[in-house]
Amino acid sequence: MSDTTSTPRWAPFALGFRPFFLLAGLAAIILLGTWLALAVGQLSPPAHYDLVGWHSHEMLFGYAAAVIAGFLLTAVRNWTGVDTLSGGPLAALAGLWFAARLLPWLPGVPGIVIAAIDLAFLPVLALALLGPLRAGNSRMNLVLPPLLIGMTVANALIHARALGWTDVPATTGIRLMLDLVLVLMLLVVGRIMPATTEMGVAGARPTVRRPVEIGGVVLMALLIVLHLAGIGGPLLAAVAAAMALLQAVRLAGWYQRGVFAVPILAVLYSGYGWMVAGFLLHALAEVGIFPASPAIHAFTVGAVGVLTLGMMSRVALGHTGLPMRPALAIDIA
C-alpha cells in the first residue's frame, strides 16, 4: 500500500515517516552539536540527567525512537492495509516526542513531569499500532506493541534512577533499550533485506536459512537475560561470539554480487556489518581484550546509526514515488 497516489509529496502529517523521519534527522544534528558543547563544557547537562546519561538516553529514546515510530507507523499500514495515524493525531504524537526532548532543558520543570511525558510516547505508539494490527489480522506482527512496552520499561528504569526511586543503575535501562532496539532491527532487517536485494540487484536470489533465523532470536533473548542478570565473563562472551557468527552467516546468505553498487543496499549491508562487529567486540570485551566502549559504539553509531539512515532513505523514496536509486545528494547524506 502506498500513499503516492493519494497525497502530495509534501504532506507533513499524511503518514508516519514524514514527521518522524524529519524529526529524527534534525535530532541527529542537534543532539550531536549539543553533545559536543556539553563535552567541552560550553553547556551543562539537564538536571534530570548526568552528562553521559543524557547522551545515551537521547540517542536511544530521542533519535532511535523517532525512527522507530516513523518506520512502524508506515510499515504497519503497508503490512495490514489499515490506515495508521495521520493528520491531527499524528501531529499530536510528534508533539509528544518533541515535548519529551524539550522539557529537560526548561528551568523549573519537575522531574516527575519530565519522566511522565517521556514515558508516555512509546505506550501511545504501541496503542496506535495495536488497532491496525488487530484489524488487519497481522498476527506475526503483534510482537511489536509488547516490544515497545519493553522499551518503556527500560525508560522507566532510567527515570526511576533519576528521581531517586531505585538503586538500579540507569545503565541497566540503557542496556535493555539498546538490546530491544537490536531485536527490532534484527526482525525488520531480516524482513526487508532479501526483498530489497532482489529489487536492487538484477537476478539476485538471497538465501534465508530458517535455523539461522530461529537461532538469532534464541541467542538474542539469552543475551538480554544475561545482561539483566548481570552475568558477564566467559558465558556472555560465548553467547555474543555465537551471535556474531550467526549474524555473519545470515548476512552472507543475503549478499549478492553487486549490492555495493546500489547506494541504499551498500548502506544497509554496511550497517548490518556493524551489528556483526558489535557482537564480536562485545564478546572480546567480556574476556578483557577490549573495553566495553567500542562494542557499544559499534552497535549505536555503527549499526543503529547507519541502518536507520538506510531505512529512512528506503522508506521515504518508496513512499514518495521516487526511484530506489536516489539522487547524488541523498547518496552523500
Binned average pLDDT, 10 residues per bin, the chain of 333 residues: 45 88 94 92 90 93 97 93 93 98 96 98 98 89 96 98 95 97 96 89 91 96 97 97 98 94 91 98 96 95 93 72 53 51
Last residue of one domain, picked from the residues 150, 168, 186: 168
- Considering the entire predicted model, what is its pTM? 0.92
pLDDT at 312: 87
175 lies in a domain? no
CB 305 within 8 A of CB 277: no
Range of the domain at 54: 1-168
Q: Does residue 276 fall inside a structural domain?
A: yes
Q: What is the pLDDT of residue 263?
A: 87
Q: Is residue 204 helix, strand or coil?
A: coil
Residue 83 lies in a domain: yes
Same-domain status, 139 and 286? no
> Quick check: is 184 in a domain?
no
Model pLDDT, residue 317: 67
pLDDT recorded at residue 5: 43
Alpha-carbon distance values, 194 to 207, 259, 273, 314 (Å): 8, 11, 15, 14
**Is 183 within the bounds of a domain?**
no
Maximum separation of any 2 CA atoms in the chain, in Å: 60
Query: What is the structure's pLDDT at 83?
Result: 93
Q: Given this model, what pLDDT does residue 169 score?
A: 94
d(CA 47, CA 54): 10
pLDDT of 11 = 80
Nearest CA among 65, 48, 35 for reference residue 103:
48
pLDDT of 1: 38
In this structure, the answer to whether residues 211 and 160 fall within a common structural domain is no
**What residues contact residue 302 under an 8 Å CB cut-off, 6+ apart?**
271, 274, 275, 277, 278
Alpha-carbon span 18 to 20, nearest angstrom: 6
Q: What is the model's pLDDT at position 321? A: 55
